[in-house]
Amino acid sequence: MEELVGAGVFYGTALTEAPALRGEDVVVVGAGNSAGQAARHLSRFARQVTLVARSQSLAESMSEYLIGELGTLENVTVRVGTGVVDAAGAGRLERVTLAVAGSGDRQTVPATALFVLIGG
């Protein structure tokens, strides 16, 4: 992923990036309030937002109101117990591979942006 930092992969939020993602697919990694707020904000612009969290539940690290709001957004998918194992593209991020913990199941999803919001 390192070669894609700044070319679709961002460590931290980039609220200024959101309008440029209109109609695009976006992945947000993290289980805390920052990740939830980023997913909510990005949902106003992106076609699809996938929130990925390694933990089995968001309840331990994200505010209840925010979990509820994310659940009402039609273009936000929350994937718990899942991690990002690869990101690829030709000069710019094009896809992200997700893996379900413990099962070995993998899925590659289209993504023009990946926001990594883990640890504070």
Question: How many residues does this entry show for the chain?
Answer: 120
- Where residue 16 falls among pLDDT bands split at 50, 70, 90? confident
List the CATH number of the domain containing 22: 3.50.50.60
Please give the single-letter amino acid code of residue 73. L
What digits encode the pLDDT tens for the residues 80-90? 999 999 999 99
How many structural domains does the chain have? 1
Smallest Cα–Cα separation from 8: which of 83, 21, 32? Answer: 21
Model's pTM, two decimal places?
A: 0.92
What digits encode the pLDDT tens for the residues 27-55? 999 999 999 999 999 999 999 999 999 99
- What sign results for the dihedral spanned by CA atoms 5, 9, 13, 14? positive
